[in-house]
Structure 1
């Protein structure tokens, strides 16, 4: 694995305000944490019985995406120069690869949280859409040079407020299919993740938005947040769900999975037997007469 100095030399910065070699070294550290967490999550997924791996597989998706993103960040790849608003015409590296990471991870984390509740599918889809709005408006705002970037920031903040409402008020008020154990674990995980969501807009305003902090400081800040909202959060969330009966969630697929032999076979319902038509009743014979 290349060090920060080698990565910056091979892939030279494309802006005046760019990540330093120390910043690249830190990003390699975050990449190592994400990659190790991915392997641990994959191992934990394999150890789970079939039919009880949904939340673990979501964790593998999130951590794999973060590993690829931080490999790109540490290699000084995945950025574009944008003239900073408050830096006297200096250009600054804007890392679009980070927003690609969030575009996948943010809705996936929220999906994992809300699947543990009793929310209707329509509410879940709306919340996932607004999580995508938060990421897209953050990316567009970061790429805008003028003060109009704060308009996109406002759109994202409004969408984030709705997500907080769903996570902290609307979802906990639903009937949890798996009972009180999941409800307690959800309160812990949702409260923790909602607190983490407060810090991301603050970092954006100081970095891509206001250009108050350097690119290296931005990398350190975002790296800590992604570790706390990624491996740490997922470890807490999966630990709270470790003893929950998955049948109580009501998840169903189109096929039956034989967890013992690992075979997948379709369930076929035998057609109901067709009743034979009843024989017509014989006409009544009047009293005193004999049937021929």
Structure 2
């Protein structure tokens, strides 16, 4: 039997190499196969975006490189998850999912903290690239990224907590989500209205899709890591579909499609040396006068007339003046 045939016959042996000891509820070989498929999709799209960026002039690649950064983070995530790494066993709060040989009641659930670490990098790239399309300001872009990071960090911490206090962090995460919705509706949408009609229409569609999909992430968390309602394999499918639709279909392909009608150089978004998130053109940099390397003769200031010492003080009376006074 050839080595290649032996490889296919052997199949996915991830769980034999990186076992799930300590977890009662963990992914199976089917879940790992799905995660490898999602990894392949993200890796392929990452290479396509990077390759497409080389067809653009160097000063027009910032937009595509920002998108590629998020895709790289997600490729890293799914390679880790498919390898059955980046997880910790956490005692579930609810006993909705059970096994015949679980060590505790409720049992220990496999929690992939690597997922939320990658989201910490991936989500900001979406809001950053979308800000370029709608001409959003730096301040609002940073604000919405901070709000989204609040959601990601809160849900990450909540996954590692056994007690009901995890729902307190879930509440913090929902607060961050609603703030993100606020900025998308009242900031990004307003900024999009000032763009070309075609760009504005597509931007409104991106905003609507982003809100719906972002709302599904806390729901997925509540059904899996938080509530222990669905198995880890189902959790992998839920998050995988969400990530493909949000980061690839909307965050990559749709945004690149919309960007075709945008003059990045004319709008000053060709590089980070410019005002990336405004549509008022490149930032005007005031000229700075640097000293010449050669010594230059400085003009001699005009001589100022100064009273002499004799006239500056009261002159002493002469003998003639004394006689006249007498």
* Residue aligning to 2:14: 7
Deviations 1:192-224 (A, max 9, x none): 222111111111100001000001110111111
Distance 2:198 2:57 in 1: 20
Is residue 2:74 matched to residue 1:56? no
Does residue 229 in structure 1 map to residue 237 in structure 2? no
Following the alignment from structure 2 to structure 1, what is the Cα–Cα distance between the partners of residues 125 and 41? 20
SS in 2 for 1:51: helix
What TM-score, normalized by structure 1, do the two folds share?
A: 0.83
How does the TM-score come out when normalised to structure 2? 0.75
Moved more, 198-207 or 178-187: 178-187
Alignment partner of 1:246: what SS? coil
SS of aligned partner of 1:171: helix
Cα displacement (A) at 1:225: 0.7
SS in structure 2 opposite 1:82?
A: strand
How far apart are residue 26 of structure 1 and its match? Answer: 0.5
User: Which residue in the other structure is 2:88 paired with?
Assistant: 80
1:110 maps to 127
Structure 2 unaligned regions, length at least 5: 1-6, 96-104, 275-285, 303-326
Shift in Å, 1:40: 0.7
SS at match of 2:54: helix
Aligned pairs, how many?
268
Structure 1 distance, partners of 2:140, 2:244, is 28
Which structure has the greater CA radius of gyration? 2
Query: How far did 1:140 drift?
Result: 0.6
Alignment of structure 1 residues 1-292 onto 2, 5 Å = 5-14=12-21, 15-87=23-95, 88-174=105-191, 178-233=195-250, 234-251=252-269, 253-254=272-273
Query: Cα RMSD over matched residues?
Result: 2.8
Paired residue for 1:263? none
